[in-house]
C-alpha cells in the first residue's frame, strides 16, 4: 500500500477541536445520563432482561476501544502515512478503555443473569457445563478479564507515552521503538482479545465453540473503528484545516483498508458457517438455529448483505473512496449495521427457541426497551469520554516525519 511520503518541510499545525465538538460532547453526555437512568429503571423492573440488553450494548461500544488499540499496533508494525493521519482518533478510542473497564463491573454484578455456568444448579444439571467448570467459573472469568484489561491498558499507556514524547522532542528513534514494541504486542493483543470474547460472548452458550469466533468479532471491531476514525477525520478536517494533509490519496488508503477488513470479516464469518452448518452437530448447530429462527433469519440475511455486500460494492469505486462526502455515507452505514450485527450476535442466545442456554427469557425474536436504554446510556457516555480524550491533544501528531503536506491539487476536504 502506498504511503504517499513527502519530505517534511512545513511544521504540522497544532489544531484542536473547536466549540462545535464541545456542544456534541454535552449532548452526548445528557443522552448517556438519560440512558443510564433508564438502565436503573430496567434493572428494578426486570434485571434479567436488563443485563442481557446491557451485554449487547457493552460489547458494541467496547469494540471501539479494542479496535482503536488494534489499529495503533498494526500501523506501528506495517507503517504507512494513513495510520499517522488517523492516529489521534484511534488513540482517543483506545484511551476510553478505562471507561470500558468500569462498565464491565456491571457485567460482573449480573453474571448469574447472563451466564448459565455462573449458577451451581445449572452446572449440576448440564453435562457440558460440568465439563467446562474448571475453566468457566466466576473467579477464573474475573481473573482473565482483569489480566486482559491490564495488558490493554499497559499497551495504551506505553504507546501514548512515546507518541507524546515524539510530539515534544521529534526524536526519530521513537518510530523504531514503537515498531519493536508493537510487533510482539500485536500478537499478545490478538490472543488476549480472543480469550476475552470467548469469555464474554461465546460462554453464554452451553455447547457452542468456534476457533475463529474471537478473530471474527475482533475484525468487526476494527472495521467499525476504521469507519469511526474516517468519519471523525473528515468532519474535523473541513475547509483545509490540516493544510493539505487530509487529501484524496490518504482517504483512498483508508477506504482501501475499510474495504479489506470488510472482506476479512466476511471470510471468517463464512468459514465458520461453512464448517459448522454442513456438519450439523447438535452441540454446534443450535447457535445458528437460534439466529435463523423466525424473524432472526431475516435479520441474519440483512446482516450478511449490509455488513458485506453493500460496503463491498460501495468501496469498489476509487472515486467514492477519494470523495469525503461519499465516503462518509459508507462509514455511517458501517457503524449502523455493526450495531445491528452485535445485536444479532448476542441476543438470540437469550431469545431463541432452542435449549442452547438455561437462560432463555422469551421464545423467538424480541426487542426490549432496555436494549435502547443500555445502548444509548453506554453510548452517550462513551462518545462524551471519546470527545474529551480527543480534545486533550492536537488532532494531528506534531513531529512525525511521515505527516507532511501534500500537493494542493490533492486537497479534498
DSSP output for 222-279: HHHHHHHHHHHHHHHSGGGTTTT-SBHHHHHHHHHHHHHHHHHHHHHHHHHHHHHHHH
Joined grid coordinates for residue 378: 453506554
Give the model confidence (pLDDT) of 316-337 as tens digits.
Answer: 988 888 888 899 999 999 999 9
The verdict on pTM exceeding 0.75 is yes
For the chain, give every domain's residue range: 19-403
d(CA 400, CA 166): 7
Whether the pLDDT of residue 3 is over 50: the answer is: no
- Going by pLDDT thresholds of 50, 70 and 90, the confidence category of residue 5 is very low
- Going by pLDDT thresholds of 50, 70 and 90, the confidence category of residue 50 is very high
Crossing angle (nearest 10°) for helices 324-346 and 213-236? 150
Q: What mean pLDDT comes out for the span 234-246?
A: 74
- Going by pLDDT thresholds of 50, 70 and 90, the confidence category of residue 412 is very low
Q: Is the separation of the CB atoms in 370 and 44 below 8 Å?
A: no
Check residue 352 and give its pLDDT: 67
- Going by pLDDT thresholds of 50, 70 and 90, the confidence category of residue 363 is low
Other Cβ atoms closer than 10 A to 119: 16
The CA-atom distances, in angstroms, between 51 and each of 63, 138, 308 are 18, 16, 30
Q: Which residue has the higher pLDDT, 184 or 250?
A: 184
Whether the pLDDT of residue 151 is over 50: the answer is: yes
Check residue 156 and give its pLDDT: 97
Q: Which residue has the higher pLDDT, 331 or 12?
A: 331
d(CA 142, CA 123): 18
Question: 247 has which bridge partners?
Answer: 411
Q: End-to-end CA distance of the chain, in Å?
A: 22
Query: What is the percent of the chain where pLDDT is above 70?
Result: 90
Check residue 409 and give its pLDDT: 46
- Going by pLDDT thresholds of 50, 70 and 90, the confidence category of residue 405 is low
Check residue 21 and give its pLDDT: 86
Overall size of the chain counted in residues:
413
Q: Is the separation of the CB atoms in 406 and 247 below 8 Å?
A: yes
Amino acid at each position: 500500500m502506498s504511503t504517499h511520503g513527502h519530505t517534511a518541510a512545513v511544521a504540522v499545525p497544532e489544531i484542536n477541536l473547536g466549540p462545535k465538538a464541545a456542544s456534541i460532547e454535552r449532548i452526548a453526555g445528557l443522552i448517556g445520563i438519560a440512558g443510564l437512568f433508564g438502565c436503573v429503571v430496567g434493572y428494578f423492573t426486570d434485571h434479567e432482561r436488563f443485563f442481557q440488553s446491557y451485554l449487547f450494548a457493552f460489547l458494541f461500544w467496547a469494540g471501539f476501544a479494542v479496535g482503536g488499540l488494534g489499529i495503533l499496533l498494526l500501523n506501528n508494525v506495517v507503517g504507512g502515512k494513513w495510520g499517522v493521519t488517523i492516529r489521534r482518533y484511534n488513540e482517543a478510542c483506545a484511551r476510553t478503555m478505562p471507561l470500558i473497564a468500569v462498565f464491565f463491573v456491571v457485567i460482573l454484578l449480573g453474571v448469574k443473569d447472563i451466564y448459565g455456568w455462573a449458577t451451581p444448579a445449572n452446572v449440576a444439571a448440564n453435562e457440558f457445563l460440568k465439563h467446562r467448570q474448571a475453566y468457566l467459573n466466576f473467579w477464573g472469568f474475573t481473573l482473565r478479564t482483569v489480566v486482559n484489561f491490564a495488558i490493554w491498558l499497559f499497551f495504551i499507556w506505553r504507546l501514548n507515552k512515546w507518541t507524546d514524547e515524539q510530539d515534544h522532542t521529534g526524536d526519530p528513534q521513537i518510530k523504531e521503538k514503537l515498531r519493536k514494541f508493537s510487533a510482539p504486542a500485536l500478537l499478545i493483543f490478538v490472543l488476549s482479545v480472543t480469550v476475552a470474547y470467548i469469555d464474554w460472548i461465546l460462554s453464554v452458550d452451553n455447547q457452542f465453540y468456534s476457533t475463529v469466533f474471537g478473530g471474527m468479532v475482533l475484525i468487526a471491531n476494527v472495521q467499525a473503528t476504521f469507519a469511526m476514525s474516517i468519519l471523525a477525520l473528515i468532519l474535523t478536517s473541513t475547509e483545509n484545516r490540516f493544510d493539505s494533509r487530509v487529501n484524496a490519496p490518504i482517504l483512498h488508503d483508508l477506504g482501501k483498508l475499510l474495504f479489506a477488513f470488510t472482506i476479512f470479516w466476511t471470510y471468517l464469518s463464512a468459514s465458520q458457517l461453512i464448517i459448522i452448518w454442513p456438519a450439523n452437530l447438535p452441540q454446534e448447530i443450535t447457535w445458528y438455529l437460534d439466529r435463523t429462527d423466525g424473524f432472526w433469519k431475516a435479520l441474519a440475511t440483512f446482516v450478511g448483505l449490509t455488513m458485506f455486500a453493500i460496503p463491498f460494492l460501495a468501496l469498489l469505486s476509487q472515486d467514492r473512496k477519494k470523495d469525503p462526502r461519499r465516503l462518509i455515507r459508507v462509514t455511517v452505514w458501517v457503524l449502523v449495521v455493526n450495531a445491528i450485527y452485535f445485536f444479532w450476535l448476542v441476543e438470540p442466545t437469550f431469545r431463541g427457541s432452542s435449549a442452547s442456554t438455561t437462560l432463555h427469557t422469551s421464545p423467538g425474536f424480541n426487542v426490549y426497551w432496555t436494549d435502547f436504554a443500555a445502548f444509548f446510556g453506554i453510548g452517550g457516555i462513551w462518545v462524551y469520554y471519546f470527545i474529551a480524550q480527543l480534545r486533550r491533544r492536537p488532532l494531528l501528531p506534531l513531529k512525525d516525519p511521515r505527516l507532511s503536506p501534500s500537493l494542493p491539487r490533492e486537497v479534498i476536504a
